[in-house]
Amino acid sequence: MKPTVMIVEDEPSLVTMLRYNLEKEGYQVTEAGDGEEAMTVANETTPDAVILDWMLPRMSGIEVCRQLRRKAETRNVPIIMLTARSEETDKVRGLNVGADDYLTKPFSMPELVARVRALLRRTKPSQSKGQLTFGDIVLDLDAHRVSRGGKYIHLGPTEFRLLQYLMERPGTVFSREELLNGVWGPDIYVEPRTVDVHIRRLRKALNIEESVDVIRTVRAAGYALDLSGDQAA
């Protein structure tokens, strides 16, 4: 069964481009031109992933996101939100509507396709994905939540994927390039230094109170999840 991606976008030319590129990747595509139609289409065919424009006629992308999250069938479906400017992205992020990823228009099709692929890889629909644990850290793949010592930790989507990747292979040292390929995907071109930025954010979020630093920096090699702490200092 091919995964179904629902496109919710009112710009016909963009819908055509998205459909073409997603079908080329082997996905089934459903589409809706406004927020209300999105809910109807999602009822007819439960999507495996949703590409959701923020500015839509009749019902905003934010409201669509909220409604999809309220329904049992679409509660865990990955949603990529499209916004017109980065300030909008920040605003939507701040509203914490439950999207898994955000893209600012204009974006490249390879980047979008890579993000969809990464999100689908993470989710296997209609089946519990369970949780990963490492020391006192618990990453719940269904609820998309992370806690440490029983305390909920807020992570951005990239930090969540990064932590998941490390928790799936504890103790393994990954180079920046390996993390870029595994977490961002092979088609996304970002500076290896970007990894450092997200590792720093992840480390900051995880190291609450007196917790042991679980991310080990291996000089000239990369990073690993390890209870022995940071040895580069």
Q: What is the C-alpha separation between 189 and 202, in angstroms, rounded?
A: 21
Tell me, residue by residue from 17 to 56, as one string, x for binding to Ca ion by CB under 5 A and - for no binding: ------------------------------------x-x-
Nearest residue to Ca ion, by Cβ distance, number only: 55
Residue type, 73: E
User: In the chain, at which residue ranges do the beta strands (DSSP E only) sit?
Assistant: 4-8, 28-32, 49-53, 79-83, 101-104, 131-134, 137-140, 145-148, 151-153, 215-218, 222-225
Closer to Ca ion by CB, 14 or 188: give it. Answer: 14
10 binds Ca ion (CB under 5 A): yes
Candidates 2-10, 21-29, 32-40, 101-109: pick the segment binding Ca ion (CB under 5 A).
Answer: 2-10
Tell me, residue by residue from 141 to 180, as one string, x for binding to Ca ion by CB under 5 A and - for no binding: ----------------------------------------
Closer to Ca ion by CB, 30 or 217: give it. Answer: 30
Candidates 6-14, 66-74, 181-189, 197-205: pick the segment binding Ca ion (CB under 5 A).
Answer: 6-14
Least Å from the CB of residue 5 to Ca ion: 17
Q: What is the C-alpha separation between 170 and 189, in angstroms, rounded?
A: 26
Q: How many CB atoms lie within 10 A of CB 78?
A: 24
Least Å from the CB of residue 48 to Ca ion: 23
| Strands 151-153 and 145-148, sheet pairing | antiparallel
> Cα–chain-centroid distance for residue 67?
19
List interacting residues with Ca ion (CB under 5 A).
10, 53, 55
